[in-house]
Amino acid sequence: MAAGGKSGKVVIRNIGLLLSGDLERPILEADTIVVVDGIITQVGKAADCDTDQSVTLIDAKQTCVAPGLIDSHVHPVFGDWTPRQNQLGWIDSTMNGGVTTMISAGEVHLPGRPKDIVGLKALAITAQRAFDNFRPGGVKVLAGAPVIEKGMVESDFAELAAAGVRLLGEVGLGSVKAGYEAQQMVAWARRHGIQSTIHTGGPSIPGSGLIDKDVVLEADADVIGHINGGHTSLSERDVCTLCEKSPRAIEIVHNGNEKTAIAAAQAALQLKCPHRVILGTDGPAGSGVQPLGLLRLIALLSSLGKIPAELVFCFATGNTAKLRGLNCGLIEPGRDADFVFMDRAQHSAGRTLLDSVQLGDIPGVGMVMIDGLVRCGRSRNTPPATEVPVVLTPA
């Protein structure tokens, strides 16, 4: 590692498959990536890249390099601990599943979570500051997502925005459940640069309730949170109606109904708006912590949903980055150097990584990089990859 926590110059060579994260061109004809101080500077063929004088040289061993996965829906609290399951190290463990960025849908599991307006604003600002200063396992946790309550006015959203809060927790988890009330607050949030997500489906925790398709459409939040339920889904017909009638992001999660997850993804393809599909886990939750939740969801949508694996990887990377205004999730110059190195799991029936995912197998993770720094080698959670990258000493 270079001095001062910077990656310095990193060269990744001998890439066998390069997934871009971009639906328009999901596979790149390139075998080399050059990174300087955590930012991608070149992507192309080795002969066309400046590979001299690197601080770190990585031989990808003909494996796949993809953008680090982005979990669009998590519920962190403080540090790398979840009171929901009383478990330590869940974020670092998820990084071993290829996740390099997480987005909070509300710090709702905090014991004694304040629901008064002063308290909820204080919690959001504190969470935003805490995770901005602390990255478990190197993962970028975008936190500080207040759950809106009755009595909030526009100045509250202006105050939150001025303090650096950029997200709302799931609309519907607090006292604001009516569509017209949510619509007003969502509009105030949007006016001040705060992105909103709405709970969709049946109640998930005590205090939450049913949010049906009519409320979702009237509220018009930026993200249709867990459109396949968290955990209980709306009907497949209602889910498809939301895909058709709303222009907003279609968020599919691991901790939801698998049948409607597939229906939502296929509806987006039929409506010619696959760019709206983003993926999350909705964990930690009552069903536990899922370090491989995104990889399992990718394999589900690809195999049973019959969607090409390279496109589904875009749902978990570039789509989320674009819809949420992030500088990661795509492999192109100027983007953050967040990568997951993968290969087909040992003894998978698939001939290649993409074949194996299309058959329903999760890949083996061989390395994860965040901001150009190696955060883990062979994953302790995935099945072993057939081949893994190697860090070499530059000549």
Pair 378, 384: CB distance under 8 Å: yes
The pTM score is 0.97
Pair 367, 32: CB distance under 8 Å: no
SS (H, E, C) 47-109: HHCCCCCCCEEEECCCCEEEECEEEEEECCCECCEECCCCEECHHHHHHCCCEEEEEECCCCC
Domain ranges of the chain: 3-67+330-392, 69-291
In sequence order, what DSSP letters do the residues of 157-180 get, joined into one string?
HHHHHHTT--B-PPBTSSS--SHH
d(CA 134, CA 111): 21
Instruction: Encode the chain (395 residues) as per-residue pLDDT tens digits.
Output: 344 478 999 999 999 999 999 999 999 999 999 999 999 999 999 999 999 999 999 999 999 999 999 999 999 999 999 999 999 999 999 999 999 999 999 999 999 999 999 999 999 999 999 999 999 999 999 999 999 999 999 999 999 999 999 999 999 999 999 999 999 999 999 999 999 999 999 987 666 679 999 999 999 999 999 999 988 999 999 999 999 999 999 999 999 999 999 999 999 999 999 999 999 999 999 988 999 999 999 999 999 999 999 999 999 999 999 999 999 999 999 999 999 999 999 999 999 999 999 999 999 999 999 999 999 999 999 999 999 999 997 65
Given 3.20.20.80, 1.10.3720.10, 3.40.50.10260, 2.30.40.10, which CATH number is that of 3-67+330-392? 2.30.40.10
| Cα-based distances in Å from 105 to 19, 198, 245 | 27, 9, 23
Tokens representing 95? Answer: 């990084």
Given 2.40.50.140, 3.20.20.80, 2.160.10.10, 3.20.20.140, which CATH number is that of 69-291? 3.20.20.140
- Please, what's the b/e burial string for 242-257 (b: 16 or more CB within 10 A of its CB; e: otherwise)? bbeebebbbbbbbbbb
